[in-house]
Structure 1
């Protein structure tokens, strides 16, 4: 009886899930092909359960933080181990920690690339100021265009 309280019998159509999670029917079918979702069928229509909805939510969260589909599947497959979610939680913790390390390394790489580019900009501006100052306004115009593309609200 308590299992029924935790898992409502409400079902969802592909359209409802796509609207709720802002994804495409193609994406849902792809996750189904990969074995991450297993909707029931009503004729040709897919019928998604509350469990499918929860799985989709976890898939999208995993993707958002950069987990591979295989990693997401590993975590999802541990749901029915029968230990109250402990094994799934332990696997999730390990994957999340690994992803944090990878993202921090990426952030350091990005910070280094930005610093290198800024130094290059400084050198090039100095060089142009000395040799062809007439070309500096063009560089400033280009910089403004890029800034507007990246952040139109804060472009000066």
Structure 2
């Protein structure tokens, strides 16, 4: 094995993923490791692609969106199409994430208010029980 390739175990260790994950991404045509019998050897390109796949997933991109964006790399336009489509898609995902955060912030504030009320009610009931005893 050359230093330019990693086997499946090394890829798993480097990216904190499982072999099943790597095989899944290969089946979805997101990764294209070199096959030597049963062995898979991952190139620098595969490592770069996996890094982008994991980042895209973290940002809420679907695997199909990620695949389509990765496929645009080879268009030969200096990545202009790939970057512009990624940017447009990222704008949409950012807006969705910000909306989710606003909803979550609202739910957190409401839960805190309910817990404050509950704590006051518990204290009130506890004090009543103590004074009655």
Normalising by the smaller structure, the TM-score range is 0.7 to 0.9
- Aligned residues: CA RMSD: 1.8
Structure 1: runs of 5 or more not aligned: 1-8, 136-156
Structure 2: runs of 5 or more not aligned: none
The 10-residue stretch of structure 1 (125-134 or 27-36) with the greater mean CA deviation from structure 2: 125-134
Task: Give the aligned partner of residue 97 of structure 1.
Answer: 91
Greater relative CO (CA pairs within 8 A, separation 6+) = 2
CA shift in 2, pair 1:91/1:122, >3 Å: same
Deviation sequence 1:53-112 (CA, Å, 0-9, x none): 111111011112221111111110101111110000011101111111111111111110
Deviation sequence 1:20-54 (CA, Å, 0-9, x none): 11111111001011111111211111121221111
For 1:118 and 1:131, the matched residues in 2 are separated by 20
Task: Give the aligned partner of residue 15 of structure 2.
Answer: 21
For 1:122 and 1:115, the matched residues in 2 are separated by 11
For 1:123 and 1:108, the matched residues in 2 are separated by 23
CA shift in 2, pair 1:64/1:134, >3 Å: farther
Q: TM-score, normalised by structure 1?
A: 0.75
Give the 5 Å matches for 1:111-150.
Answer: 111-133=105-127
Q: TM-score, normalised by structure 2?
A: 0.87
The ranges of structure 1 where at least 4 consecutive aligned residues each deviate by more than 6 angstroms after the TM superposition are none
Q: What is the CA distance between 1:134 and its match in structure 2?
A: 8.1
